[in-house]
Every structure is written in C-alpha cells, then in structure tokens.
C-alpha cells in the first residue's frame, strides 16, 4: 500500500493547465471539482486540497529543469469570475489533524519553492488575479513577485480565515503581508478580519497588489508585464532542458527502495532506517557529461528520491517517529560530485541541482520527526551527504571498527558544500547554525575542510555528538532509540522545532516556527474543529459558539 503518491506529470494533471509561449509560461488554475484526493468534498470555486498542490509543486520543478527557456511564469485562473477560494473547507473539516498540519507544511514548502525560483533561478513569477481571491488563493498570489488585480468591481483579495473559519491564513499569509509586502500593521489587522476583502484602488494603495488593470486592457497588460519580467532573467534561451522521467521505486509494508536510497521500517520501535548510497562510480566532472546524464546524474537523482521519501514518510507513516540516517559507498565519489557542482556553479542546470538539494535538505529540517545519524564503517558522510548528519538532532560515530569486520574505521569529510551552499530556513549553513555564537569552534571545523576525520577528531571538533567504541555502540544507540519512542511525540516535536533553528529569524523561519505552530494549535481547538466550531458548521447556516477565554 503506497498511500498518497507525490509522483505526477503534466499529462496527468487534473487541476492545472500549463502552456508556454516564448520565454513566458502560464500556469492556469482549473480545478476539477470532482477531483479531490479523498471522497466527501467537492473542490468548488477553484478551491484546493493536497492533490492540487502536488501538481503545482511538480509544475514548478519541471519548469525549472525541463524548460530553461522559460524566464517568467504567470499564475492565473482558467475559470470565469473566480481566481481561487483557497483551501477547501470540506477537506479541512473532514481531514485528520495530522493531515491538516502536513498539508499546511507541504503547501508552505511549495510556495517557498516558487519564491526560490524567482529569487535564484531567474524564473520570475507574476500572479494575474482575475476574480475573487480568498484565503489560500491570496496566499498563493503573495508568493509571486508581482501581483496584478483585475479592476472590475468584483475581483478582490482577502484573508478571511479568522472571521469565517476561526483559523489562521496558515500558509504564510500573515507573514508575507508585513515582512514581504510591507503592509502596515494596522491595515493588515483590518484586512485579516474583514470577510469581503479589499479591491481596486484600496488594494493598490495598501500594497496588497502591485497594479490594478481594467478588463479592457487585461490581456495586453498581463502579456506586457510578463515580457518585461522575462527580459530581466539570466536563464539561457537556447539550452536543452533536463527531462524528469517517472521516479522509480518499490514500496511494501516494511521497505521502500529507490536506485540510491533504501528505507526499512521497524514498526515495533516506530523507526525508519534510511540509507543513502553513493554513486557506484565517479560521477562525471565534465559539464557536457553532466547534462548528458540529466536526471540520472547522482546529485539530482538522490535529491528527487530523498524528497519523495520524506514526503511519503510524512503523510503515510504517521506513527514512525524516528528516522535513522545512514550512508554507504565511496566518499571520494561524493567529494568528486561536490567538486563538479562547485566548478560549474554558473551553469543553469548545476545551479538548479544545487537549489533542489537545498530545498530537499530543508524538508528534512522541517519534518516533525526525531532524526539521528549513525556513522559506521563503510559510510560516506562527505560534503553534501554530511549535511544529513549535520541536520540530525544527534549523531553517533563509531570509534574504531566492529569486532570481526574488515572495514576501515569510519571517517567524515567536510567540503566546500558545507560552508553555505545549502542554507537552512534561518539563512545560515547547518555548520554555522551548529556553532552559533562560537566563532572559534566554527573556524576550527571549517579549517578541517577536505580532510578525512576519524571519530575522535570529529567529536573533538564538535561535528558529531557521541563517538562510542565497539563495546558501547549497541547499548548507546539502542537506548537512544528506545528512549525516543518512550517520550511524548508532541513534546519532542516542540523541542526539536525549537532547537533546530538557532540564530536569526527570516520570513521563512517565521512562517514555520511561528505561524505553522500556532495554526497547529488552533486546528485542535473546539472553536475551529469542535462540534459547534466553524469548520463543522460552515455552510449550515448555524453560528458557531466560541470559548471566549483568551488564555
């Protein structure tokens, strides 16, 4: 049983229409009302569920990799008189709490991937709001760089979650209003508490949109603005894209296998054993060969597989609370891949691969699971793969070898990739976040770049948590796993999310550490989900009854 599957392709889309003309692509939202991911609700008025966002995430990825010629993207509605009514209320009222929280997180990550494309890939997004745009629909629009609103007396933008649903605009709306668009706090307060939203000149004056355009000039103006955005892009007009073939995997009740990844599930201990494998031969260093391998090139292939596994475990394995990360293979091959990425950093495809790895590693950081790394003989925690160990809540590195084995002792190796190529949501590298406030320790670790470090030196430099020997290894790791399974998952999630992001806040970290956390709590309160709460009574004509206590 595979559960929710995140693999799709444009020929299978039910909710989006993707078209391209010259350097401009258009993603038109055309939701199939009968195409919900689960039974029991209709996706009316271009409202969306997880299935709609799975397609959007796929489209964003494919535009970046398969279409280097695309320099700007228009997001709009293919339906008359409506842009998007936001997340489907029927879906929210019937979904489990875990699904709602994971849905909000995935939707947030998809919006951030769109912003990442605009900020770093030269693929700039514009939202053409051609109808009422409410809740999650406006949150989607806010992720774009440029918002244009149809000035027809009916089209409006709104975040009506508080007055209508007793929940929050949980996919970044509140944060993007003030941090990204600079909407004044008092105006934002009014805007978020008025059901009908804001339209026309007021929407423009309050910075809720960047332009308002009458229907008579709509098509002409949207085309001109998209062309202007495309003109500022550095994406190559004549490059060959890299196709994304269907991702191959085998799934059964206890194991998930990919070409470079294996996950074995221990349901008794509620543990996922995840092993990432290095390439079996040195990856190409020549740029033409990298392009020739395309989606089979190891750094890209492993990014796709790891992303799919993370999403699969989040949505389909709720009871598996601990992920144990291992690696196996030749460290030299990982170092060679990192060197090739560094040598060709200016190439559009290499840039996209690096950005994809960054986004996938962020998904690991943001997963509500305990993450341990086990570094054993035969492992290859080097450079890009060392990021997995640096992302872990704890790491255990065997000091020496296991009795009877002929493996060499385990080592780890920093490369240039660990010094900022894959920043976290706080804008810092995992290495910097690890040593926040300790410049000497950070410098000591960075000075060890490109050296094989054994367990003793790795522990001394602070790069691993513990370095037990063969005698203590089994007991220490067993106790750590069993202890984790005995603790409250709620408390662990709160602790881990608080500890993982040291240092400064960014818009991105605020969305996850503040907004998502509050939404998580609000989604459990009877004011929202109780029998007399808004999500249960919405559309019934009955008024909800609220617990008025504020504390």
Alpha helix locations (H) across 317-438? 331-343, 348-365, 386-391, 430-434
Q: What is the pLDDT of residues 95-105, one digit of tens each?
A: 999 999 999 99
Token pair 């670790």 is found at: 445
- Residue corresponding to tokens 């255990």: 396
Mind giving me the DSSP string for 441-463? HHHHHHTTTTS-B-HHHHHHTTS
277-316 pLDDT, tens digit each: 999 999 999 999 999 999 999 999 999 999 999 999 999 9
Give which of 362, 385, 258, 241 is closest to 309, Cα–Cα. Answer: 258
pLDDT at res. 206: 98
Please tell me the predicted confidence (pLDDT) of residue 523. 87
Query: What's the pLDDT score for residue 520?
Result: 80
Torsion, Cα 419 421 425 430, to 10 degrees, reads -30
Tens-place pLDDT, residues 329-368: 999 999 999 999 999 999 999 999 999 999 999 999 999 9
Distance separating alpha carbons of residues 415 and 412, to the nearest angstrom: 10
Distance, CA of 293 to CA of 546 (rounded, Å)? 58
Nearest Cα to 504, choosing from 429, 428, 442, 431?
428
Rounded CA separation 524/530 (Å): 8
255 or 497: which carries more pLDDT confidence? 255
Out of 66-70, 326-330, 479-483, 528-532, which region has the weakest mean confidence (pLDDT)? 528-532
Q: Chain-wide mean pLDDT for the chain? A: 96
Q: What band does 2 get if pLDDT is binned at 50, 70 and 90?
A: low
Percent of the chain with pLDDT over 90: 92
CB 371 within 8 A of CB 323: yes
Structure tokens at 458: 């790795």
10-231 and 250-499: identical CATH topology: yes
Q: Which helix H or strand E contains 129, and what residues bound it? A: strand 124-129
Q: Which helix (H) or strand (E) holds 517?
A: helix 517-522
Q: Which of 230-239, 453-462, 515-524, 541-550 has the lowest mean pLDDT?
A: 515-524
Distance between CA 286 and CA 125 in Å, rounded? 32
Are 25 and 63 within 8 A, CB to CB? Answer: yes
Look up tokens 């700039």; give the residue: 124
pLDDT of residue 517: 77
Q: Using 50, 70 and 90 to split pLDDT, how confident is the model at 382?
A: very high
Domain borders along the chain are: 10-231, 250-499
Between 13 and 513, residue with greater pLDDT: 13
Q: What is the per-residue pLDDT for 256?
A: 98
* 259-283 residue pLDDT tens: 999 999 999 999 999 999 999 999 9
Q: Does the structural domain 10-231 have CATH classification 3.90.470.10?
A: no
Helix-strand-coil split of the chain, %, nearest 5: 45, 15, 40
What pLDDT score was predicted for residue 334? 98
Residue 140 pLDDT > 70: yes
- Eight-state DSSP code of residue 44: G
User: Under CATH, which number does the domain 250-499 receive?
Assistant: 3.90.226.10
Question: In what side-by-side order are the strands of the sheet with 211-213?
Answer: 16-21, 24-29, 72-77, 124-129, 146-150, 211-213
């Amino acid at each position: 049983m595979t559960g929710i599957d995140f693999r799709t392709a444009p020929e299978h889309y039910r909710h989006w229409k993707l078209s391209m003309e010259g350097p401009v692509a258009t993603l038109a939202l055309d939701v199939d009302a009968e195409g919900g991911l689960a039974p029991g609700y209709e996706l009316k008025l271009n409202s969306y569920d997880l299935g709609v966002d799975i397609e959007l995430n796929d489209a964003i990825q494919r535009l970046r990799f398969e279409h280097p010629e695309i320099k700007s993207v228009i997001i709009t509605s293919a339906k008359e008189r409506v842009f998007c009514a936001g997340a489907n209320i029927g879906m929210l009222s019937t979904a489990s709490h875990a699904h709602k929280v994971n849905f909000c997180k995935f939707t947030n990550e998809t919006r951030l991937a769109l912003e990442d494309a605009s900020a770093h890939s030269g693929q700039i997004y514009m939202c053409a709001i051609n109808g009422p745009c409410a809740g999650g629909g406006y949150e989607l629009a806010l992720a774009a760089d440029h918002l244009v609103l149809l000035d027809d007396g009916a089209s409006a933008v709104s975040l009506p979650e508080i007055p209508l649903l007793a929940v929050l605009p949980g996919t970044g709306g509140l944060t993007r209003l003030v941090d990204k668009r600079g909407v004044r706090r008092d105006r934002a307060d009014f805007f978020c508490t008025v059901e009908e939203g804001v339209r026309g000149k007021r929407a423009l004056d309050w910075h809720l949109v960047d332009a308002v355009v009458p229907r008579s000039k709509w098509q002409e103006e949207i085309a001109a603005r998209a062309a202007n955005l495309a003109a500022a892009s550095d994406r190559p007009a004549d490059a060959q894209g890299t196709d994304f073939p269907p991702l191959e995997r085998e799934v059964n009740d206890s194991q998930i296998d990919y070409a470079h990844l294996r996950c074995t599930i221990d349901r008794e201990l509620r543990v996922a054993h995840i092993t990432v494998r290095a390439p079996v031969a040195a990856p190409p260093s020549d740029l033409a060969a990298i392009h020739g391998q395309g989606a089979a090139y190891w750094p890209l292939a492993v990014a796709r597989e790891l992303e799919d596994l993370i999403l699969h475990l989040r949505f389909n394995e709720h009871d598996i609370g601990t992920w144990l990360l291992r690696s196996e293979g030749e460290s030299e091959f990982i170092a060679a891949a990192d060197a090739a990425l560094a040598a060709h950093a200016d190439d559009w495809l290499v840039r996209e691969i690096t950005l994809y790895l960054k986004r996938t590693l962020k998904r690991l950081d943001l997963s509500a699971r305990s993450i341990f790394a086990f570094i054993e003989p035969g492992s290859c925690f080097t450079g890009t793969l060392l990021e997995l160990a640096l992302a872990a809540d704890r790491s255990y590195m065997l000091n020496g070898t296991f009795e009877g084995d002929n493996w060499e002792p385990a080592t780890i190796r920093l490369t240039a990739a660990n010094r900022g190529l894959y920043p976290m949501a706080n804008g810092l590298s995992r290495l910097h976040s690890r040593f926040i406030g300790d410049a000497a320790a950070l410098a000591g670790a960075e000075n060890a770049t490109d050296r094989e470090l054994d367990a003793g030196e790795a522990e001394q430099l602070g790069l691993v948590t513990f370095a037990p020997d063969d005698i203590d290894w089994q007991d220490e790791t067993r106790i750590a796993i069993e202890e984790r399974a005995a603790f409250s998952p709620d408390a662990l999630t709160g602790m881990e999310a608080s500890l993982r992001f040291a240092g400064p806040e960014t818009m991105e970290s605020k969305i996850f550490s503040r907004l998502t956390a509050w939404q998580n709590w609000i989604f459990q309160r009877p004011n929202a989900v109780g029998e007399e709460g808004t999500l249960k009574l919405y559309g019934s004509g009955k008024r909800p009854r609220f617990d008025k206590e504020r504390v």
